[in-house]
């Protein structure tokens, strides 16, 4: 398994501490964020690049540009600034998340946004990682629609999918697109009282034997389809963020997945 770790798995750690944790876990790839924690807003990109190089780490992505599919207002400026930061920090890609407030975004607007974002990414040598959100209120729930929009925008050379095991489950998606996938986000839900419609980011923990999202079967399907990219831990639950030893908990989850897949 090619594991990676998203900074939200241990958001209380400084950038240096986070990179040290990745090293201690034997990982070579990480994701940094512009929300929790806000590395983009608080650490200069050249400092991020130097720290990653010193730690021997590759920054898979910066997470995230939101809402990428509503190309209006300050979004074009924010998109350019975030892409500039990604390039300067040595990140390989930007995660791009759709509007998630219950409002509908027409397919044509989605395609138009992808067309506008394409040269911004291409000029900086970045990949756009499009992440459908499976919530009922999301304006882009499925990977199938994302692929159709990417193809309509002639963006197959720049865009890849994020397969998020949580959002795949919430959307009720049966299709896998390993050949179009650039990154997998993994997290679990263990609360047995929740329906899929009730599951929120706050319920996302590390994957263990109590997981309800069928992470193992999803991972097996991606492997069988030829996906060879990273599987990045992305738990949002506050109980994970509060762990005294996030490293040990992530290591346990890695061991469980490795032994089960």
Helix (H) / strand (E) containing 260: helix 246-260
pLDDT at 139: 98
* Residue 188: band (very low, low, confident or very high) from pLDDT cuts 50, 70, 90: very high
CA distance 99 to 181: 21
CA distance 152 to 99: 19
pLDDT at 86: 98
- Phi/psi zone of residue 26: left (φ > 0), alpha (ψ -120 to 50 degrees), beta? left
Tell me the pLDDT tens digit for each residue of 63-91.
Answer: 999 999 999 999 999 999 999 999 999 99
Tokens for 243, please give them: 């762990």
Tokens for 107, please give them: 């397919």
Percent of the chain, pLDDT > 70? Answer: 100
pLDDT at 8: 98
Mean pLDDT value across residues 146-171: 98
Its pTM stands at 0.97
Dihedral pair phi/psi, residue 151, rounded to 5°: -70, -40
pLDDT at 111: 98
Angle ∠(40,43,47) on CA atoms, nearest 5: 115
**Bridge partners (DSSP) listed for residue 203:** none
* Structural domain of 70: 3-260
Helix (H) / strand (E) containing 29: strand 29-33
Q: Say if CB 181 and CB 162 are below 8 A apart.
A: yes
> To 10 degrees, the CA torsion angle through 27, 178, 101, 113?
100
- Residue 186: HSE in the Cβ half-sphere, 13 Å Cα cutoff: 28
89, with CB counted inside 10 A (0-12, 13-18, 19+), is buried
User: Do you find a cis peptide bond into 102, omega within 30 degrees of 0?
Assistant: no
The count of structural domains within the chain is 1
Supply the mean pLDDT for the chain: 97
CA–chain centroid gap for 38, Å, is 15
- Phi/psi zone of residue 73: left (φ > 0), alpha (ψ -120 to 50 degrees), beta? left
User: What is the domain-level CATH number for residue 165?
Assistant: 3.20.20.150
Mean pLDDT value across residues 201-217: 98
pLDDT at 115: 98
CA distances (Å), 14 to each of 19, 88, 95, 110, 186, in order?
A: 9, 19, 21, 35, 22
pLDDT at 207: 98
């Amino acid at each position: 398994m090619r594991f990676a770790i998203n900074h939200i798995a241990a958001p209380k750690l400084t950038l240096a501490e986070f990179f040290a944790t990745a090293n201690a876990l034997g990982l070579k790839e990480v994701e940094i964020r512009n929300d929790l924690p806000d590395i983009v807003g608080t650490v200069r990109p050249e400092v991020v690049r130097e720290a990653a190089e010193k730690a021997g780490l590759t920054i898979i992505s910066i997470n995230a540009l939101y809402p990428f599919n509503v190309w209006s207002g300050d979004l074009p400026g924010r998109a350019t600034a975030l892409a500039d930061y990604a390039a300067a920090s040595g990140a390989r890609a930007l995660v791009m998340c759709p509007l998630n407030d219950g409002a509908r975004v027409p397919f044509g607007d989605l395609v138009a946004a992808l067309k506008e974002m394409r040269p911004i990414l291409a000029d900086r040598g970045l990949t756009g990682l499009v992440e459908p959100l499976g919530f009922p209120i999301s304006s882009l729930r499925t990977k199938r629609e994302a692929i159709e929009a990417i193809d309509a925008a002639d963006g197959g050379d720049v865009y890849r999918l994020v397969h998020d095991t949580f959002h795949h489950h919430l959307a009720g998606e049966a299709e896998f697109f390993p050949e179009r996938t650039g990154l997998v986000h993994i997290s679990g839900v263990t609360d047995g009282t929740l329906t899929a419609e009730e599951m929120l980011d706050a319920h996302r923990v590390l994957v263990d034997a109590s997981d309800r999202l069928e992470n193992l079967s999803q991972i097996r399907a991606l492997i069988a389809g030829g996906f060879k990219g990273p599987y990045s831990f992305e738990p949002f639950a506050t109980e994970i963020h509060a762990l005294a030893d996030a490293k040990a908990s992530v290591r346990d989850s890695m061991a469980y997945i490795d032994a089960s897949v």
